[in-house]
């Protein structure tokens, strides 16, 4: 059974298998049909479907990928990938060097963005057609909200436009607009330009 969760940003736990929903629909007809035919349980937000296994490596998920996904023409990284949850703090309290960075297993994947913050590992679907600047703006806004205004993350923030001073965004596709100063997200305008 697949559970629908109306959150763009999903938290990674343990060893997670993430699949593009558009590929599932293309290859299997629907998420429900895929779930029923292949006894797949997990969660979806309408753009990604995922499930987790409490072991590393995730032997059962890897076997499922071989027998079902790859056998039906899905490709690793293009259509699905495995993500291991990265610990944010060590046994002695040391903080991970990966805090505030994208998850390393998502670096080569154009359809998935990620960030590791002190509260965990998070991913979201990213349109491959977005520019590097737009992808970076989403990454920085979501990271900022995860730290400073986590309630807004629950409302699916979307950037509406960026001007020379502010990043403007809305939540839950409402008419309510918010803005955050670009300096709060970028400290080096020379690297990213003014537009």
Backbone angles phi, psi at 67, to 5 degrees: -75, -30
163 and 122 together in one domain: no
Handedness of CA 14, 154, 114, 39 (dihedral sign): positive
Last residue of one domain, picked from the residues 75, 96, 128: 128
pTM for this one?
0.88
Is the pLDDT score of 9 beyond 70? Answer: yes
CA distances from 34 to 24, 30, 190 (A): 7, 6, 47
122 and 195 together in one domain: no
In this prediction, residues 157-168 reach a mean pLDDT of 93
85-124 b/e with 16+ CB inside 10 Å = b? bbeeeeeeeeeeebeebbbebbeebebbbbbbbeeebbbb
119 and 24 together in one domain: yes
Last residue of one domain, picked from the residues 106, 128, 150: 128
80 and 162 together in one domain: no
138 and 102 together in one domain: no
123 and 149 together in one domain: no
40 and 3 together in one domain: yes
Confidence of residue 188 (pLDDT cuts 50, 70, 90): low
Instruction: Give 87-133 pLDDT, tens digit per residue.
Output: 887 777 777 788 889 999 999 899 999 999 989 999 999 998 999 99
User: Which domain does 146 fall in, by range?
Assistant: 130-195
The total of structural domains in the chain comes to 2
Q: At what angle do helices 31-38 and 21-28 cross, to 10 degrees?
A: 70
120 and 136 together in one domain: no
4 and 74 together in one domain: yes
Is the pLDDT score of 44 beyond 90? Answer: yes
103 and 76 together in one domain: yes
Write the CB contacts of 120 (distance below 8 Å, at least 6 apart in sequence): 11, 12, 13, 85, 88
Last residue of one domain, picked from the residues 83, 101, 128: 128
108 and 148 together in one domain: no
Confidence of residue 1 (pLDDT cuts 50, 70, 90): confident
For residue 191, the 8-state DSSP code is H
pLDDT of residue 88: 83
**Burial class for 145, CB neighbours closer than 10 Å (0-12, 13-18, 19+):** buried
């Amino acid at each position: 059974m697949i559970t629908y969760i109306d959150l763009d940003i999903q938290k990674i736990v343990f060893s997670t298998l993430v699949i593009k929903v558009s590929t599932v629909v293309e290859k299997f007809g629907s998420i429900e049909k895929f779930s029923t035919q292949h006894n797949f349980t997990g969660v979806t937000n309408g753009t990604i479907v995922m499930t987790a296994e409490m072991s590393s490596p995730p032997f059962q998920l890897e076997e499922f990928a071989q027998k079902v996904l790859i056998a039906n023409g899905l490709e690793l990284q293009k259509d699905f990938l495995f993500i291991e949850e990265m610990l944010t703090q060590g046994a002695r309290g040391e903080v991970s060097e990966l805090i505030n960075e994208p998850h390393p297993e998502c670096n080569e994947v154009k359809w998935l963005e990620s960030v590791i913050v002190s509260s965990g590992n998070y991913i979201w679907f990213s349109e491959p057609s977005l520019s590097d600047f737009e992808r970076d703006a989403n990454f920085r806004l979501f990271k900022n909200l995860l730290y400073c205004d986590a309630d807004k993350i629950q409302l699916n923030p979307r950037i509406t436009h960026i001007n020379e001073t502010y990043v403007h965004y809305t939540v839950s596709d409402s008419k309510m607009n918010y803005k955050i100063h670009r300096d709060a997200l970028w400290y080096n305008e020379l690297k990213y330009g003014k537009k």
